[in-house]
Amino acid sequence: MNEAGAWTEERVELLKKLWSDGLSASQIAAELGSVTRNAVIGKVHRLGLSGRAKSAAQPASPRSNAPRKATPARAPSHPMANPAPTRGAHALAPDLSPEAEIEVATTPLPSEDVVIPFSERVTIMDLREYMCRWPMGDPTTPEFRFCGARSQSGLPYCSHHARIAYQPAADRRRDRSKVRA
């Protein structure tokens, strides 16, 4: 602790007096000056001070045991159809409302149907916002590239890779039932 905030005998006695009077650690720190609230709490702990008088600064307000009268909730000044979450994992999630749904062909094509020449594939450094981000090859090799074809509006993939990536829910359910049988 610096010289200005040293715990002298006088300051320790003042601390004990103010603590027993019921002042908070913040109030004592302000009264002593050049010490923090946490320094006061630490010193009180090391001194073993406990018994405190009730604080005169906060008189207890009498509480009524009578039940409160129910008041109707105020209607919002601008009602929202579907309010967006403001906290948690869903706060930053993209809006995938039915209006934003994109129609994709119902029959996915096997990835072998379209062969993208190696010269048209792009590295991650050459990948742009409008290009298909479908990974091609082994990511651990220098030949690893991305498709690079023109992507569909609002999607990270070209039309061919979008059909592979986005299957309608009915098709997914049908595929699962085949696996279980």
Tokens of 115: 């062969």
Bridge partners of 150, per DSSP, are 131
pLDDT the model gives residue 69 = 72
pLDDT the model gives residue 15 = 92
pLDDT at residue 14 greater than cutoff 90 = yes
Lowest mean pLDDT among 110-124, 130-144, 161-175: 110-124
Backbone φ and ψ for 38, nearest 5 degrees, come out as: -65, -30
Length reported for the chain: 181
What is the rounded distance in angstroms from the CA atom of residue 51 to the CA atom of residue 91?
A: 47
43 within 8 A of 12, measured Cβ to Cβ: yes
Bridge partners of 157, per DSSP, are none
Residue 49 — pLDDT band, cuts 50, 70, 90?
A: confident
The closest of 157, 154, 153, 155 to 136, measured between CA atoms, is 157
Identify the three-state secondary structure at position 160.
helix
Burial of 158 (0-12, 13-18, 19+ CB in 10 A): buried
Task: Express as a percent the part of the chain with pLDDT over 70.
Answer: 56
Q: Per mean pLDDT, which of 34-43, 78-87, 88-97, 143-152 is the most reliable?
A: 34-43
The closest of 127, 163, 165 to 147, measured between CA atoms, is 127
pLDDT at residue 53 greater than cutoff 60 = no
Q: Where are the domains of the chain?
A: 1-56, 103-168
**Average of pLDDT values for 67-91?**
63
pLDDT at residue 87 greater than cutoff 90 = no
pLDDT at residue 111 greater than cutoff 50 = no
Name the residue with higher pLDDT: 69 or 100: 69
* DSSP 8-state code for residue 79: -
Lowest mean pLDDT among 36-50, 55-69, 125-139, 146-160: 55-69
Distances (CA, A) of 27 to 8, 31, 40, 41, 111: 19, 6, 10, 11, 71
**Average of pLDDT values for 75-90?**
61
